[in-house]
Structure 1
């Protein structure tokens, strides 16, 4: 009976740790983009999706993440959308709350000139220097569908 109890505890711990739904750090220079297969090297344009089941998909640019969305039958399968914060390299932020800038004066890895910012103030500052258009997550998705 004691052995069965130990196996039950071990099984429960394995289940809990195997279902961890959390982001993973991008290993720049080593991780590959799940969409375009390029190595992720740009520390200000990376992105990541975490599914409800804990599967992590990493991307070299927000535009790759958005283009990869067609792989899912329903976006409700996705728990977390993350993107790099342009002014803080390697910092991942919630893409659904970010402000995005499309400016031809700010190149991104896949040529969409798309950068993400944690808040609108940061985005407006770069926009005033570089030009371009600002988008919310929802407006960006609609814009890129066209």
Structure 2
């Protein structure tokens, strides 16, 4: 009887442990959540970003540049998911590694780097024609912030 009780307890503990390590995005609560890097309240639905570690810890940022500045302090190997808000669909988190980035003074961002993400290259090209600037891929923009 005692061994059966311990088996149930062990199963429950394993289940709790498994559920606590789920790696998934956590929606940003605009106007309430704060940036992990600069501590500002996240309000801009077109420039926010988020990373999720392999252990399931979520870090939210008010600007893409805050995420990149934070990443200077840690290695990518610990990160499972990189997310950014797409400019043309405010509030929707998209895969940051597949996004196209525009640095343009025609589109201000919260921390003054004028950095904006687009879900598709076509959207980014349309914004480039309208606002001017320079386009970057994920790796190119990462390299720009590593300097």
Q: TM-score, normalised by structure 2?
A: 0.95
Determine the C-alpha separation between the residues in 1 that align with 2:76 and 2:40: 24
Partner deviation per Cα, 1:27-48 (whole Å, 9 max, x = no partner)? 0000000111100000010000
1:17-32 alignment, distance < 5 Å: 17-32=19-34
Q: Return 5+ residue gaps in structure 1 as ranges.
A: none
Q: Does 1:83 align with 2:84?
A: yes
Counterpart-to-counterpart distance in 2, 1:75 and 1:143:
16
Unaligned runs of 5+ in 2: none
Alignment match, 1:47? 49
By how many angstroms is 1:145 displaced? 3.2
| 2:65 corresponds to which of 43, 63, 66 | 63
Kindly report the root-mean-square deviation, in angstroms, between the aligned alpha carbons of the 2 structures.
0.9
**CA distance in structure 1 between the partners assigned to 2:31 and 2:42 by the alignment:** 6
In structure 2, C-alpha distance between the alignment counterparts of 1:54 and 1:127, rounded to whole Å: 35
CA deviation map 1:46-79 (0-9, x unaligned): 000101111110000100000001221x210111
Aligned to 2:108: 107
Indicate the SS of the match to 1:96. Answer: coil
Divergent runs of 4+, >6 A: none
Q: Distance in 2 between matches of 1:63 and 1:135?
A: 13
Alignment size in residue pairs: 145
Distance 2:24 2:142 in 1: 23
Q: Tell me how far apart the structure 2 counterparts of residues 120 and 39 of structure 1 sit (CA, whole Å).
A: 29
Give secondary structure in 2 for the equivalent of 1:27. Answer: coil
Give the 3-state SS of the residue equivalent to 1:20 in structure 2. coil
